[in-house]
A and B are shown apart, each in its own frame.
Chain A
Amino acid sequence: MVMSNSPMRLFGALGFAAAIALTGCGQKDDAPVTKGGPVSLRRLTEPEYRQVIADVFGTTIKVPGRFEPDIRDNGLIAVGTSRESVAGTGLEQYDLTARGIAAQVVDEVHRTTLVPCTPAKATDRDDACAAKFIERTGRLLFRRPLSQGEMATQVKGAGESAAKLGNFYSGLELSVSAMLVSPQFLFRQEAAQPDPDNAGQRRLDGYSKASRLSFFLWDTTPDSELLDAAAKGDLDTDSGIAKQVDRMTHSPRLAAGVRAFFSDMLGFDGFTALAKDPQIYPKYSSQVAADAQEQTLRTLTDLLVTNNGDYRDAFTTRKTYLTRLLGSVYGVPVMTSTGWEPHEYAVDDPRAGILMQVSFLSLHSHPGRSSPTIRGKALREVFLCQKVPDPPGNVNFALVQDTKNPAFHTARARLGAHINQPTCAGCHKIMDPVGLAMENFDSAGGFRSTENDSLIVTAGEIDGMKFDDASGFTKVIHDHPQAPVCLVNRIYSFGTGRAASKDEAEWLNYQVKQFVASGYKVPELMRRIASSKAFYRISTPGTDANNATLSMAGTNTQTEALK
């Protein structure tokens, strides 16, 4: 139960819903003007790479191996990709993967589908047929048409290889492999051009806009229609962008974009290195971890996309999906032998919303015990965009780690003693009350009412809002004014591949108000961002654009503005 005044009242008092002018769809964009950000160069993430290969060549093409880990920056891998390069070992991995993919693309199973022509002789070069294949495939891989020089190089290389190896398809294989290790494929390279409407300024070219749009909304390379629109210059006009955004946001593929965003925001890449002690948590396995991620993403896409629901309900919804493995962790029966089935928690069940799901609970815990501190830190950073400082290097954690200390049966008791150390108290007061609200769930996400035979108390307070149990906690987070602010900030950063600048604070504040007025609808938020000028605007070198990263203080400023 929420015991203080609900922040919803703050929003309710805003009363600006009717005054909002929609962007896109040919309507006027009344949003504050921004100065844009730099043209970006973003390395494909591994999920993006895999999705692109599936979309270009089909899902039957296996993508072997793993790539270099991505960098998380400002809460998102999408932002970190702008800082990434490829190391020597990473390039070797890309090369091996490319060879494996290329061999499948031209094998006897796939060539009839993926190669649009039949060579005059399968044992020799056929430059015309090779050109047809390379032109079509290269356009999708490079997210733009290949230049004449690129085409010539690829056709020549494929032809010479085919002649030398006595196999037309071996030549194509080499060409595909070469394209897959080229920077034009591995990096989303944006290009700027003079802006005819604003003398002295530049704008993204159409293909760069197409890539931003496609990876943002669909998590994949632009499709042929989007590339055609770029080629015709349609994406240089508001109406042209609005038409494509409308098409893409009404596509079932929007769910892929939503999934990609939340997978990034929730830090699911952390599962690759996550382990639990099997002696303490035997129910936790790699398959449970995989199912847990999928559960959360299904919960979110069902709520936000399928039902076009309120984002804040992600913290309180009782509707989710389960497999039998997850059912064994949650302690509920699952009828379906294999696969997923919908499930709804009972009204008085403390488990509600994505914070009480195995994915969040297990990802933000130690291998052998839960951690209110880590969970509290994660909640503040992931969902409220509030940076919590790292602990000083000389902290003695012995008291917190000793879960069998007879003097301190529960995590609350141990942390209570720990924060008596003055250097620890400040940050723990920010993190611990939040994390202690989730102490009814162990490191693997299983329910428990006691720890060391002592009752676990989950009551607490966050930012002046009190709650007396986990259920009340989820309602507080649901109503926390910073949650929608953070989401808008994160989604914008996810799409642009950079942290928002201070210059964009006012624009973001405007978007937050639009988001609130829309009923916290995420697809509408994505549509609005994708339709906005700010999403594509690039800064001009030498101007006085304030490109300092929008700090947590900046986001707090937005909250204040909302009030």
Chain B
Amino acid sequence: MTRFQLYTRPLGIVAGLALAIAAGHASASETRGYVVSWFGVSTYYGGEGDCPDGLNPMSTEFYKRELLRLGYSEPDATKLLKDFPGNPGRPDGEYIKIMGTRGDKKTNVYAHPESAADPGLKEVKGKFAYGFNLDGKTDSPISFTDPNTGEKGIKNQYYRSLGCIRSFRAPPPAHPTLAQAQWDVLRDEMPAWLIEIAGITDSKNSDNVTVTISRGVDHVSRDASGAVRSDMSFKVDPDQRSHNVLHGSIKNGILTTEPSNIRIVADPFLIPEFSWKKAQLKLELKPDGSLNGILGGYHDWYALYWSYAESGWVEEHSASVDMPALYYSLKRNADADPDPTTGENKSISTAYEVEAVPAFVIHTEDKNDKKVSDAGSTLPAHRVEANLGGWLRSLGW
């Protein structure tokens, strides 16, 4: 029986099938498709304890600090900043030009952050963070504890650098302002990111599943509430740069994958591509059919810095990210992949929130090639009932 036949069958399912799923009855192996509906830096929000040294200053504050450092008098600095924030679309404020060239010998400080002295970024000193124990060590001084599971040894130095910047702080379920702004760009500007989970024999427990992360050729569309529309169809981009196959298992409804590299093309406006090493996924298969969890791994820290700095004054100005301070912080907190010559770490431990909704993932351009499309089309998660329905019917239920 082809998969197409399976998914169309399910619309006649009865409640008993849902009960069978809830009871965890064994079923035929299923493949489920998803489209990523949220992706953003994972930031734990625990209150003042996260940042005992306080939060980092707003851009007006560190701009004034820098103007004074550059020799401007207090009245002149105040006068220069009187028009803040100026025209958000154009760098027509004089202070913006001065800030952009505040490096040594008026060097572009965003492209050459080391032309400026380290202003010092206030970093996270709290105990908790989300992520993975990427190096296997639980007693490392940089280790965090997972606030939900209590797991020790969590490595997330990226959060340590970002977590005391105001635009990265938000009590859940709100997303941090800058993370939300970045995803708003990625979600609507780039083709969709797709996830397929193959080998599911039981929604709660499956020993061997294969997770494929890829990029589509189609963009997401929104539903009436503004969220990413579920159950849409997406064709997979055959570009192998964004094709990642991971192996893992599902235990108690939580999917965890083994460490693997993950590379996926993003959008040049923000970051051309993400490329993690020793990356892992931890995703909950939720009853409503969606996924919710964490992607963690080591990432080139300079690429992450440049994802902010490439916009120059824009994010520094609007999101209060002091670029030289961020640069030095990331460099300081990098915790993996030492350069063989300098010994400096090139990668930093990271964690990102991932949410995904059911989608049809299609692996062929040829709609008449049923063999290929049958093999490639995967079922939205909630359609597993349908498959199960067909299977149970075949058993005479």
Within 8 Å of chain B (Cβ to Cβ): is A337?
yes
B8 partner residues in chain A, CB cutoff 8 A: 332, 345-346, 349
Contact of B224 (CB < 8 Å), options: A282, A341, A350, A351: A282
| Complex contact B233–A276 (CB within 8 A) | no
| Complex contact A455–B14 (CB within 8 A) | yes
* Min CB–CB distance A458 → chain B (angstroms): 11
Task: Give per-residue flags for A317-333: 1 if the beta carbon is below 8 A from chain B beta carbons, else 0.
Answer: 00000001101110111
B386 partner residues in chain A, CB cutoff 8 A: 331
Within 8 Å of chain B (Cβ to Cβ): is A334?
yes
| Complex contact A324–B232 (CB within 8 A) | yes
Closest to B382 in A: A331
B380 partner residues in chain A, CB cutoff 8 A: 331
Within 8 Å of chain B (Cβ to Cβ): is A449?
yes
| Complex contact B218–A337 (CB within 8 A) | yes
Q: Which residues of chain B (130-185) have a CB below 8 Å from chain A? A: none
Within 8 Å of chain A (Cβ to Cβ): is B227?
yes
* Min CB–CB distance A335 → chain B (angstroms): 4
* Min CB–CB distance A437 → chain B (angstroms): 14
Known: A345-B8, A348-B9. Is A331-B231 also a contact (CB below 8 A)?
Answer: yes
Q: Which residues of chain A (282-321) have a CB below 8 Å from chain B? A: 282-285
Cα–Cα, bound, A555→B386 (Å)? 43
Contact of A450 (CB < 8 Å), options: B5, B18, B224, B367: B18
B12 partner residues in chain A, CB cutoff 8 A: 348-350
A340 partner residues in chain B, CB cutoff 8 A: none
A332 partner residues in chain B, CB cutoff 8 A: 7-8, 360
Known: A283-B229, A328-B230, A335-B362. Is A351-B235 also a contact (CB below 8 A)?
Answer: no
Known: A345-B8, A349-B11, A449-B15. Is A335-B224 also a contact (CB below 8 A)?
Answer: no
Known: A331-B380, A447-B11, A450-B18. Is A285-B224 also a contact (CB below 8 A)?
Answer: yes
B383 partner residues in chain A, CB cutoff 8 A: 331
Within 8 Å of chain A (Cβ to Cβ): is B78?
no
Interface centre among B9, B229, B380 (most CB of A within 10 A): B229
Cα–Cα, bound, A284→B229 (Å)? 10
| Complex contact B224–A283 (CB within 8 A) | yes
| Complex contact A328–B229 (CB within 8 A) | yes
B9 partner residues in chain A, CB cutoff 8 A: 346, 348-349
| Complex contact A276–B224 (CB within 8 A) | yes
Within 8 Å of chain A (Cβ to Cβ): is B223?
yes
| Complex contact B227–A282 (CB within 8 A) | yes
Within 8 Å of chain B (Cβ to Cβ): is A279?
yes
Within 8 Å of chain A (Cβ to Cβ): is B214?
no
Cα–Cα, bound, A133→B360 (Å)? 55
Cα–Cα, bound, A276→B13 (Å)? 26
| Complex contact A337–B235 (CB within 8 A) | yes
* Min CB–CB distance B59 → chain A (angstroms): 36
Q: Which residues of chain B (194-237) have a CB below 8 Å from chain A? A: 217-218, 221, 223-225, 227, 229-233, 235
Cα–Cα, bound, A137→B377 (Å)? 54
Contact of A278 (CB < 8 Å), options: B15, B225, B360, B373: B225
* Min CB–CB distance A462 → chain B (angstroms): 21
B227 partner residues in chain A, CB cutoff 8 A: 282
Place the interface of chain B in its size category: 20 to 34
Task: Give per-residue flags for B1-23: 1 if the beta carbon is below 8 A from chain A beta carbons, else 0.
Answer: 00001011101111100100000
Q: Which residues of chain A (431-487) have a CB below 8 Å from chain B? A: 440, 447, 449-450, 453-455
Task: Give per-residue flags for B376-397: 1 if the beta carbon is below 8 A from chain A beta carbons, else 0.
Answer: 0100100100100000000000
Place the interface of chain A in its size category: 20 to 34
Closest to A440 in B: B11
A278 partner residues in chain B, CB cutoff 8 A: 223-225
Interface centre among A282, A284, A333, A455 (most CB of B within 10 A): A333
B15 partner residues in chain A, CB cutoff 8 A: 449-450, 453-455
| Complex contact A341–B367 (CB within 8 A) | yes
Within 8 Å of chain B (Cβ to Cβ): is A281?
yes
* Min CB–CB distance A318 → chain B (angstroms): 10
Cα–Cα, bound, A130→B231 (Å)? 57
Contact of A350 (CB < 8 Å), options: B11, B217, B225, B362: B11
Within 8 Å of chain B (Cβ to Cβ): is A336?
yes
Closest to A329 in B: B231
| Complex contact A331–B11 (CB within 8 A) | yes
Cα–Cα, bound, A278→B8 (Å)? 26
* Min CB–CB distance A347 → chain B (angstroms): 9
* Min CB–CB distance A343 → chain B (angstroms): 9
Cα–Cα, bound, A345→B5 (Å)? 9
B14 partner residues in chain A, CB cutoff 8 A: 449, 455
| Complex contact A327–B224 (CB within 8 A) | no
Cα–Cα, bound, A46→B217 (Å)? 39
B377 partner residues in chain A, CB cutoff 8 A: 333
| Complex contact B224–A284 (CB within 8 A) | yes
A454 partner residues in chain B, CB cutoff 8 A: 15
Cα–Cα, bound, A336→B331 (Å)? 46
* Min CB–CB distance B369 → chain A (angstroms): 10
Known: A281-B224, A335-B362, A450-B18. Is A327-B11 also a contact (CB below 8 A)?
Answer: no
Residues of A within 8 A of B (CB): 276, 278-279, 281-285, 324-325, 327-329, 331-337, 341, 345-346, 348-351, 440, 447, 449-450, 453-455
Residues of B within 8 A of A (CB): 5, 7-9, 11-15, 18, 217-218, 221, 223-225, 227, 229-233, 235, 360, 362, 364, 367, 373, 377, 380, 383, 386
Report 30 cross-chain contacts, Cβ distance below 8 Å, ordered by A residue: A276-B224, A279-B225, A282-B227, A283-B229, A285-B224, A325-B221, A325-B229, A325-B232, A327-B231, A327-B232, A328-B229, A328-B230, A331-B7, A331-B380, A331-B386, A332-B360, A333-B7, A333-B377, A335-B233, A337-B235, A341-B367, A346-B5, A346-B8, A348-B9, A349-B8, A349-B9, A350-B11, A351-B11, A449-B13, A454-B15
Task: Please name 18 further chain A to chain B contacts, defined as beta carbons within 8 Å, in addition to the given A278-B224, A284-B224, A348-B9, sorted by A numbering.
Answer: A282-B225, A283-B223, A283-B230, A324-B221, A329-B231, A331-B11, A331-B380, A331-B383, A332-B7, A333-B233, A333-B362, A336-B367, A337-B218, A346-B8, A349-B9, A447-B11, A449-B18, A450-B18
Top 6 A-B pairs, shortest CB-CB distance: A346-B8, A333-B360, A278-B224, A335-B367, A282-B223, A328-B231
